[in-house]
Structure 1
Amino acid sequence: MNERHDLQSGHTPATARITTLESLREHLQWAIELEHATLPPYLCALYSLDPSRNPDAAQALGGVFVEEMIHLALAANLLNAVGGRPRLNPTTLLRPHPRPLPHGDRSLRLSLVPFGKEALEMFLRLEQPALPGAPAEGDNYKTIGQFYDAIEQGLHHLSTELGEQEVFSGDAARQVTGGPFAHTGGHLAAVTDLRSALAALEE
């Protein structure tokens, strides 16, 4: 809590891991790869269900899948906003399963399995929140929340160090917007400055 307060007041901890625009862009590309990696397991579980017999489960999984797609698009908006170029390279994105999350805890393996106990355990591990006080982790992160905390710290640090105009130098025409989406409250908004970048991370 104190670390977050220091960031918001303009004081960046010495432990911030993302300290250059190049590193920020690299981590945001990893975020795109991370969000894409969540899609096949959710979609495989969804397609294994008969919606007429399991309507609630199918709707819940469909909603999560849409949210993960929104997260991917938001990560791309963030990368575009800071002057990067999202890469959707099949050799990077479409790796064989089971596989780990890109740059994440390698003990978590994503598998393509039908909806059931194994799938639910994998999804619970995937969506596990960070423990209170858990440090931001830019690489080999234990939870997705810790990874995005590292990006948030980097955004604060660079905006203070270089100025928002220098950080958010991307072409606004490359931003994608949309929503609301079916079965989810997700919203896809443009990223043009620190405020909208933090809102995208919160989403």
Structure 2
Amino acid sequence: MLTQSTQYKNAFQEKATKLTNVKELIHHSKSVEDVREDKLHVLKELLNSAVVLEFATIPIYLQAMWTIKDNECDVAKSIRNIFQEEMLHMAMVCNMIVGIGGEPKIYDPKNGLKYPSGLPGGVHPELYLYLEGLNDCSLRNFMEIELPEEIAEIYDYETKEPVSIGGLCDQDGNITNVKHIQSHEHNTTIGELYDRINELFQELQPNMDVERQLAGPLSWWVMADATSVSKAIDMIKEQGEGSENVTPASTGMDNLAHFYRFWEVYYKKKIVQEGDKYYFKDPMPRPETYNIARVPKGGYKQEEVSPEVWHLINSFDEVYTDLVKFLEDAWAINGRGQAALVNAIEVMFKLEKFALPLMQIPIPDKEGLHYGPCFRMI
């Protein structure tokens, strides 16, 4: 991942910077000789891979959340909480990067992720993700992204039978009978990434620079040392992707890990604990939504839509571009720090201003389907 200068000290650093597959980068990081400078270099690359992965979920989660007409219903609140925690995770990893003298690259306009696509870094290669509304397919994909290494057994309260997460979603939007293969090799790429990051921090014990780190609504604390890094990584893994053995009770029944939150929405029942067992019990109805179409590859083109639609689509892309630029500026070496972060939070709220009206406009010749934003950098 091209996050550093193209002036490399040696072949090891050059390869670390150019690798785009997370598994390969983790493997490469373990081949380094006992050279502190090389280990710090590859640590920055591993951290930036984590930043890109965390940010990659933001558009697809927001798109699904915005299609919910009642933004105060339980489902909307749950997904909003997940989005906020994903932003928190990204911000905390950005603090780790600047703490060791790096500079996060959240999005590369030329080579960055453009939906529909798989996740960056070759993570979960079985997934092909779309900008689409809240439905069984999007929820099943979200569950797959957040899948822990081991899933707690949860029973239906009425039947007392264990509930399966079901098959994967195909590219036509249908739930299939193809089951996810539970295996250590397949499931733990994100967890392995964070584990390797933590291993290198604990080994190197770097003197953390807190001057460019940010604290506030998007990042709860600065990374003062390797101990605070370890604490942050434990929280990231427990709340979201890469957890090894998280049960609903691990994070508290009122603050479920992301996988279990999405499973509740998918199964339409809330998870409760009774004794040493978990059940899907209380109804969690799927809310009424705008039925938006999957955004096509490359997004909608100006010549294909009305002036009204194009104004909303293009305005959204402009604000989204500003959001990414402000976030990068917040942690840049010569950036504006907290002031840029405040700007990012302000423009984040502007996205809805264009997304929600757009989702109410029907697409001609596609009965019942509406437009949705494209999340393009321009």
Specify the TM-score bucket, using the shorter chain as the normaliser.
0.7 to 0.9
Q: Assess, with a 3 A threshold, how the Cα gap between structure 1 residues 92 and 80 changes in structure 2: closer, same or farther.
A: farther
Post-superposition offset of 1:120: 1.0
Pairing partner for 1:107 from 123, 126, 132: 126
Question: Is residue 2:207 matched to residue 1:173?
Answer: no
Q: Deviations over 1:27-78 (max 9, x none)?
A: 10111111110101100000111126x7111101111000000011011001
Give the Cα–Cα distance (whole angstroms) in 1 for the partners of residues 94 and 112 of structure 2: 17
User: Is the contact between residue 55 and residue 106 of structure 2 (CA under 8 Å) also seen in structure 1?
Assistant: no
Rg (Cα) greater in structure = 2
Corresponding position of 1:8 = none
Post-superposition offset of 1:90: 4.2
Percentage identity across aligned positions?
28
Question: For 1:39-188, what aligned pairs fall within 5 Å after superposition?
Answer: 39-51=58-70, 55-91=73-109, 95-103=113-121, 104-131=123-150, 134=184, 142-157=188-203, 159=204, 164=205, 167-170=206-209, 172-179=210-217, 188=220
Give the Cα–Cα distance (whole angstroms) in 2 for the partners of residues 18 and 88 of structure 1: 26
Q: Deviations over 1:79-102 (max 9, x none)?
A: 111211112344168532122222
> Normalising by structure 2, what TM-score?
0.41
Give the Cα–Cα distance (whole angstroms) in 2 for the partners of residues 128 and 141 of structure 1: 7
User: Is the contact between residue 98 and residue 112 of structure 1 (CA under 8 Å) also seen in structure 2?
Assistant: yes
Of structures 1 and 2, the one scoring higher in RCO (CA 8 A, sep 6+) is 1
Give the Cα–Cα distance (whole angstroms) in 2 for the partners of residues 149 and 130 of structure 1: 14
Give the Cα–Cα distance (whole angstroms) in 1 for the partners of residues 112 and 89 of structure 2: 18
State the AA in 2 paired with 1:84: G
User: Is the contact between residue 18 and residue 154 of structure 1 (CA under 8 Å) also seen in structure 2?
Assistant: no
State the AA in 2 paired with 1:81: G
Give the Cα–Cα distance (whole angstroms) in 2 for the partners of residues 96 and 67 of structure 1: 22
Give the Cα–Cα distance (whole angstroms) in 1 for the partners of residues 212 and 108 of structure 2: 21
The SS at the match of 1:110 is coil
The SS at the match of 1:74 is helix
Q: Deviations over 1:87-120 (max 9, x none)?
A: 2344168532122222123222332111110111
Number of matched pairs: 171
More moved, 93-102 vs 120-129:
93-102
Pick the structure with more helix per residue: 1
User: Is the contact between residue 37 and residue 93 of structure 1 (CA under 8 Å) also seen in structure 2?
Assistant: no
User: Is the contact between residue 29 and residue 87 of structure 1 (CA under 8 Å) also seen in structure 2?
Assistant: yes
Give the Cα–Cα distance (whole angstroms) in 2 for the partners of residues 143 and 191 of structure 1: 24
User: Is the contact between residue 16 and residue 153 of structure 1 (CA under 8 Å) also seen in structure 2?
Assistant: no
State the AA in 2 paired with 1:154: L
Q: Assess, with a 3 A threshold, how the Cα gap between structure 1 residues 34 and 25 changes in structure 2: closer, same or farther.
A: same
Q: Assess, with a 3 A threshold, how the Cα gap between structure 1 residues 201 and 38 changes in structure 2: closer, same or farther.
A: same
Post-superposition offset of 1:153: 1.9
Give the Cα–Cα distance (whole angstroms) in 2 for the partners of residues 22 and 34 of structure 1: 19
Runs of 4+ in 1 over 6 A off after TM superposition: none
Corresponding position of 1:12 = none
Q: Deviations over 1:140-177 (max 9, x none)?
A: 974422221121222223x2xxxx2xx2343x121111
The SS at the match of 2:193 is helix
State the AA in 1 paired with 2:45: E
Q: Assess, with a 3 A threshold, how the Cα gap between structure 1 residues 142 and 59 changes in structure 2: closer, same or farther.
A: same
User: Is the contact between residue 214 and residue 222 of structure 2 (CA under 8 Å) also seen in structure 1?
Assistant: yes
Structure 1 unaligned residues grouped into runs of 5+: 1-14, 182-186
The SS at the match of 2:132 is coil
Q: Assess, with a 3 A threshold, how the Cα gap between structure 1 residues 191 and 93 changes in structure 2: closer, same or farther.
A: farther
Give the Cα–Cα distance (whole angstroms) in 2 for the partners of residues 18 and 58 of structure 1: 45
Give the Cα–Cα distance (whole angstroms) in 2 for the partners of residues 75 and 57 of structure 1: 27
Q: Assess, with a 3 A threshold, how the Cα gap between structure 1 residues 149 and 109 changes in structure 2: closer, same or farther.
A: farther
